[in-house]
Structures are given as structure tokens and as C-alpha cells.
Chains A and B, each alone.
Chain A
Amino acid sequence: MATMYLSPQQLKDFAQRVEDVAKKFPAEVVRIRHSFSRDWDGDPAIYFRIIFTDDAVKRFPLGELTRKIEQALIKDLALYTSEYSAYIPYFEFRTKAEQDRSKDPQWE
């Protein structure tokens, strides 16, 4: 896959749009972090790290919850149809309680 250069402004805009998606789901999402990198094969990738509220994972089936947030990110950020389509999106989820316990800085 080809890599394309993203300007600082593009990266800033992207971060803002990620935050906007998180704000659409205040009852479900605590925050979303992301990073541009390479995946295990060396293909350009965007890694999304999504923290759910503890309540959300109790109230909704996990598959339904993850799908909803993934779809919102894919649609609102046009991940398959815009300049970002050169990057493969990957999603990982954890709850607030799990993050509070692990204190992983990449998720803060």
C-alpha cells in the first residue's frame, strides 16, 4: 500500500474529528486515542484506542457497541473513501475500569 504524507494541519483536523466522534457517544465513550503507524506487515495503519464507560459494557452487547463506534469513525472520518484510505484502520477497546487499573500511557 502506498503511504501518503499528511500535513500537520491534516493531522490536527483528523484529531479534532476523532474527538467529535467521541463526543457523539457521551454515555458510551470516555475517550478515543489514535496514532498513525505501520501494522505488522508494514502497511500504513491508524490505530484507534477506544475507552468505554463501565456502564456501557453492562448495558449493551459488546459486538453492538464496538460496531457502533467503529462505523461512526469509518463514516465520519471517511476512512475508506478519503485520503485516509491509504491507512488500514484498527480498533481496540477497553473499559474505564481496565484503563484505570493498567494506566497505559498510550490510552491516557
Chain B
Amino acid sequence: MGIADDLLTLAGRLAKPAPTEPEQASFRRSISTAYYALFHLLVQEAVQSWNGSATARFGLERKFDHKTMKDVSNAVLRSSWRGWSTPSPVVPTELEAVAEAFVRLQEARQQADYDNAKTWESTAVRAKVTEAQTAFVNWEIIRTHPAANEYLLSLLIGNKRE
């Protein structure tokens, strides 16, 4: 997971800026980078099973929409998400934790990138990076679970209609 892992590492580094570095800018980039680390982890996992050309895979990656991914993740948390198989797969707690982290990191990223009136404290930033790191660990545990596979599909095409 090259880029996702690299972004996660970078997020951790930016959360602890040197005294000579601009603190608020570093904090904001840390949070944004932590979100994109998780975003790219999930997107890359989703397109990995695509058998077409690399070019087509890049095109597929661009079809992932942040709001759709948030809505799907939110449905997982509220037990209203339905997988694509029948019966719908049981959602492991690790997948719930990944979905939870995705929703929260996305909101934090919006604030970090666009709300210039907000001041970030070190604890808040480190907590967000830790949340992303934990999501990576949880994903590794359940990435081959049927629910995880169907969650990835939902991230691309949205919640299943009843």
C-alpha cells in the first residue's frame, strides 16, 4: 500500500513539528494527510481487484466520491448498511472502527483545510493521526472478510437501495 503508508508516516511527522517549523500549518497538513492516507488505503484496496489496464485502474480510482464514502461509512455505524450478498454479511467490529475513523477524519480534514479561524492543539492532532493509524491496523485484520469486500464496493457505488 505504498502511497497510503507513506502518507500515514508523513501525517505522524507533521503532527510533531520542529520549533522552527510553522506549527498551525504543520498541524493542518497532518490532519489532512491522515485523512488522505485512509482514503487512499481504501481506494487502492477497492481497485486492486480490477483486472483491466493500469490506466483504467487510475480512472476507476477517480470515481470514488468523498461524500458517498462518508454516507456509506455512516450507514455501517448505524447498522443500516446492507452488503451485496444475501444474507448480508455480518459487520465485524474492526470494520465499524474503520468506517468510524473515515467519517471523523473526513470532517477533521475539511476543518483543517478550510476553517482558517480554527486553532488546532497538539493533542487533537495526535489523536487524529492515532485514529488513522488504528484504522490501518483494523483494516489489516478484516481486509479479506466478505463484509470488507462488499464495503469497498459500496464506497464506490453508494449504499444499496432497498
Contact = CB atoms under 8 A, between A and B. Distances in A.
B123 A52 contact: yes
A2 B92 CA distance: 26
Interface in A35-82: 39-41, 43, 45, 52, 57, 62-63, 66-67, 80
Nearest to B103: A88
Question: Contact size class for B?
Answer: 20 to 34
B107 A90 contact: yes
Given A88-B103, A98-B121, A104-B119, A41 B127 contact: no
Interface in B76-129: 77-79, 103-104, 107-108, 110-111, 114, 119, 121-124, 126-127
Nearest to B104: A90
A45 B77 CA distance: 14
B121 A66 contact: no
Contacts of B124: 92-94
A102 interface: yes
A-side interface mostly: mixed
Contacts of B122: 98
Nearest to A95: B123
A38 B13 CA distance: 31
A25 interface: no
A92 B74 CA distance: 18
B130 A102 contact: no
Interface residues of A, number: 24
Contact of B131 (A41, A63, A94): A63
A76 B154 CA distance: 30
Contacts of B126: 62
Ranked nearest first, the 10 interchain pairs of A and B with the lowest CB-CB distance are A40-B110, A63-B130, A98-B121, A94-B121, A94-B123, A93-B127, A66-B127, A92-B124, A39-B107, A95-B123
5 contacts: A63-B131, A66-B127, A85-B78, A98-B121, A102-B121
Interface of B: 67, 70, 74, 77-79, 103-104, 107-108, 110-111, 114, 119, 121-124, 126-127, 130-131, 133-134
Interface of A: 1, 39-41, 43, 45, 52, 57, 62-63, 66-67, 80, 85, 88, 90-95, 98, 102, 104
